[in-house]
Amino acid sequence: VQDAFERLHRRWHRLRDPGSGLAYARSTVLNGCRTVHRRSAVARKHVPWLSGPSAPGPDTETALAERGEMLMALRRLPRRQREVLVLRYYADLDVAEIAETLQISPGAVRSTTSRGLAALAAGLGRTQR
């Protein structure tokens, strides 16, 4: 996030609409996360001990298993569905903020959220409520 603010500061004079600074910062954070994710995936393939904790306790085993199951289900989703769900439910952005961040329409955010939740539920072997 700090890197995103630094980039925003350097490019502030280039923004056509200063009101779009927050959307620019969100997009920068999203792109930075994509880069980190790609790099960490490559690192995990080559350095196995980066994959996680070595000895979880009994209280954390179930939570780690559920978290792992959710992450695997999210990874199987198409990129756009994954991004919309993460921004909605992890970053707690509303439909308008997600639309601005991803540069798509609010209707596309709603339909992608619906399809993503259905696919996620199916991937987890659960029925959607």
- Is the model's pTM score more than 0.85? no
Quick one: pLDDT at residue 49? 43
Q: Which two tokens stand for residue 13?
A: 């004079």
Q: Is the pLDDT of residue 42 over 60?
A: no
Q: Is the pLDDT of residue 107 over 50?
A: yes
Helix (H, G, I), strand (E, B) or coil at 16: coil
Model confidence over 50-103: pLDDT tens digits?
Answer: 455 555 555 677 777 777 888 888 899 999 999 999 888 888 888 998 998 899
Alpha carbon of 62 to those of 8, 58, 90, 97: distances in Å?
A: 40, 8, 20, 33
* Boundaries of every domain in the chain: 1-51, 59-129
CATH number of 59-129: 1.10.10.10
Closest by CA to 32, choosing from 101, 89, 95, is 101
